[in-house]
């Protein structure tokens, strides 16, 4: 395995690789562990193990795809989020660590057991937010929406794997635009909508631009079109004293907060920072 790991690191670190500036050492290790079906401890404990011919071919194939820019999460089919292993593929965005802030803020607003409380996850994608909230608070009821039937299929699969055979009692997935499929108002509306400005789509890194779904990225002229549409739909969809959480690019936070204040003049609007200290979340208590 020592030889294979060195070869993988060299391949991904080479300047001919699209991802040589990213995390070549970690990526090579993750892909090797995926091929061998072992954890990191086993990989480090047995560096002398030799790969079979089939394992080498599979590993080299994954390295070539990663070298071309394909995200590691798509190559392994897995991504960890809030301590849960989610299945992901090119039908959905790979969940980002910064989105865990949104989940944490939603949980902070909810009571201890979540009994009788409702959360609406708008633009659920892989279901990362909806499933994580339902797993954290079993008595909570979550409604998750998305315009993409393909994304909803991925989300349902993740709900089944994380929450068990009766997942449907805790999370309901509905196809449709933003809050349109939602009937009863929620106590929390969580939204991680597309927020990349259309003019910046062509400048995104190759792993994002060429592999992740543009439907889940393009947020219109300034990246906030979908949030403007969401804010128009919020009245009647959130209970008094409820909260709206909107993830955005740090460069957009002040503008989005201003749009929210204009839409809800009497609301408390706060911008929250992620673990890197960047403005990441606009929180609106209505």
Each residue's pLDDT tens digit, 101-122? 999 999 999 987 667 899 999 9
Do 97 and 169 belong to one domain?
A: yes
Give the angle subtended at the CA of 253 by the CAs of 250 and 258, to the nearest 5°. 165
Total domains in the fold of the chain = 2
Inside any domain, residue 82: no
Q: Which residue has the tokens 């562990």?
A: 33
Do 60 and 148 belong to one domain?
A: no
Q: Is the pLDDT of residue 140 over 80?
A: yes
Structure tokens at 179: 């809050």
Radius of gyration of the chain (CA): 20
Range of the domain at 205: 90-285
Do 152 and 63 belong to one domain?
A: no
Each residue's pLDDT tens digit, 28-81? 999 999 999 999 998 888 888 889 999 999 999 999 999 999 999 999 999 999
What pLDDT is recorded for position 112?
Answer: 74
For the domain that residue 12 is a member of, what is the CATH number? 1.10.8.10
User: Mean pLDDT over residues 240-268, rounded?
Assistant: 97
């Amino acid at each position: 395995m020592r030889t294979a790991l060195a070869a993988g690191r060299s391949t991904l670190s080479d300047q001919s690789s699209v991802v040589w500036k990213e995390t070549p050492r970690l990526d090579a290790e993750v892909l090797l562990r995926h091929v061998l079906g072992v954890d990191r401890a086993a990989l480090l404990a047995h560096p002398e193990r030799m790969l079979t011919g089939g394992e080498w071919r599979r590993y080299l194939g994954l390295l070539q795809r990663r070298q071309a820019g394909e995200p590691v999460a798509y190559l392994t089919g897995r991504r960890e989020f809030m301590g849960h292993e989610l299945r992901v593929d090119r039908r959905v965005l790979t969940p980002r660590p910064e989105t865990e802030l949104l989940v944490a803020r939603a949980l902070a607003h909810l009571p201890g057991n979540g009994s009788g409380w409702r959360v609406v996850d708008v633009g659920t994608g892989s279901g990362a937010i909806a499933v994580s909230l339902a797993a954290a608070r079993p008595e909570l009821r979550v409604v998750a929406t998305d315009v993409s039937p393909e994304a909803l299929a991925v989300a349902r699969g993740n709900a089944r794997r994380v929450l068990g055979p009766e997942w449907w009692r805790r999370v309901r997935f509905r196809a449709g635009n933003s809050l349109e499929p939602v009937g009863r108002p929620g106590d929390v509306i969580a939204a991680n909508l597309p927020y990349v400005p259309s003019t910046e789509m062509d400048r995104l890194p190759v792993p994002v631009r060429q592999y992740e779904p543009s439907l889940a990225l393009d947020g219109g002229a300034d990246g906030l079109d979908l949030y403007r549409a969401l804010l128009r739909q919020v009245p009647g969809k959130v209970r008094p004293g409820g909260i709206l959480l909107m993830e955005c690019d740090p460069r957009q936070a002040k503008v989005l907060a201003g749009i929210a204040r204009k839409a809800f003049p009497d609301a408390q609007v706060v911008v929250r920072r992620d673990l890197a200290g960047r403005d990441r979340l606009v929180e609106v208590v209505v």
